[in-house]
Structure 1
Amino acid sequence: MSIRLSAPADVGQALRGRRVELVVIGGSAGGVDALFQLLPGIPADYRATVVCILHVPAGRDSRLAELFDLRAALPVREARDKEPLEPGVIYFAGSGYHLSIERDRCFSLSCEPPVQFARPAIDVLMESSADAYGPRLAGILLSGANHDGADGMCRIRECGGLTVVQDPGEAQASTMPIEAIRRCAPDLVLPLSGIRTLLPMLRNL
């Protein structure tokens, strides 16, 4: 499959007239390293909400929120059941539970079966976020070794949200971004450097 990276003109077109209240970032193998490059670039005055989800092994507490709280300009915490989403905060999905967002824009945790062999699953979070936020959602899919996230990105696109996929050519594991590109033809395909530049622009434009 031939993959064309997005040009600066494509970014401008994708952002024109768009207001983003929530950014959901998903990844698996290679996702932690990618977030190390992305999250420190979000400025302290950022007013959108950011929710990150990585495949975390069951039975092991996630320390991702603590890890990134030391590196990000925004406060970082693990998402809790029934907690309302706040602007200007970075949330991480914990381990062992699916994380979704209700239409009242609160988090919900569940023990439903794994999706694409994962719990938490990117698809669950992205699909529920699309239903809650519609065109005011941006979904970003990073490196990963399975197909989780492709259905979620398709749902975001159906609901009018912005879809962004990491360049598979630079991903540590290309399966996840390639499947999303094949399935949903995302608005933008960018290297991590391009996504890092894009993120500060997704702030209630």
Structure 2
Amino acid sequence: MNAWNAILMGCSAGGLTALQHVLAELDPDIPQPILVCCHTGSADVALLCELLARHSRLPVEEARERAPVRGGVVHVAPSGYHLLVEPTLRFALSVDDKVAYSRPSIDVMFESATDAFQGHLVAVLMTGANADGAEGLAYVRRHHGYAVVQDPASAEASAMPQAGLDIAGADACVPLNAIAGTLNRLCLP
């Protein structure tokens, strides 16, 4: 058994395409829960879930208040709420102030999940037009999680992965087409 209990993914501008690419290549036997925070600007995340499900070999669903975090499922943060993971490994939703101009915030999700999973997770920061996720990625790394950052040169919007590298560094900095393979190597039993 590997040491990673969860996979986290954060993205913004260009995120739909990036997530579709990664989820299409993830092995369907990945046992970890996958938590996704993508800034969409939409009031409803149902369409994002539907578009991701068309490409994913794992089930995709919107994370809901008090629902359990389930392995082998892609859980997507709902629009307008911060997604938190409680110590009981259930989701909590918050309407606290925006962080890095965002709600849901990648930083909030990364930090909450790191605490809940006691650092045993892999966090992925991909394309995006702001710095949300960089501080959360640093938090993941300080708590012995593994940080994967999309090579900014392969990102539709390079600001987010570049901020991640500048603030947190990375255990792996790879182009978009290598992220799924990296996760498969790290996370398959």
TM above 0.5, one fold? yes
Output one character per residue of 1:46-88: Cα deviation in whole Å (capped at 9) or x when no partner: 2111111101226x21121122222211111000011111111
In structure 1, distance between residues paired with 2:85 and 2:143: 15
When normalised by structure 2's length, the TM-score is: 0.94
In structure 1, distance between residues paired with 2:20 and 2:31: 20
Percent identity reads 37
Output one character per residue of 1:96-136: Cα deviation in whole Å (capped at 9) or x when no partner: 11111111111110110111111001000001011111332
Is residue 14–residue 156 contact of structure 2 (8 Å, CA) maintained in 1?
Answer: yes
Residue in 1 that maps onto 2:133: 149
Could you list the runs of 4 or more consecutive aligned residues of structure 1 that deviate by over 6 angstroms after TM superposition?
Answer: none
When normalised by structure 1's length, the TM-score is: 0.87
From 12, 16, 19, the counterpart of 2:3: 19
Is there any run of 5+ residues in structure 1 with no aligned partner, and where? 1-16
Residue in 2 that maps onto 1:54: 38
Equivalent pairs, count: 188
Residue in 2 that maps onto 1:89: 73
- After superposition, residues 1-205 of structure 1 pair within 5 angstroms as 19-57=3-41, 60-62=43-45, 63-203=47-187, 205=189
Pair member with larger Rg: 1
Is there any run of 5+ residues in structure 2 with no aligned partner, and where? none
Is residue 127–residue 158 contact of structure 2 (8 Å, CA) maintained in 1?
Answer: yes
In structure 2, distance between residues paired with 1:98 and 1:90: 17
C-alpha change, 1:168 and 1:70, in structure 2 (3 Å) is same
Q: Secondary structure at the match of 2:49?
A: helix
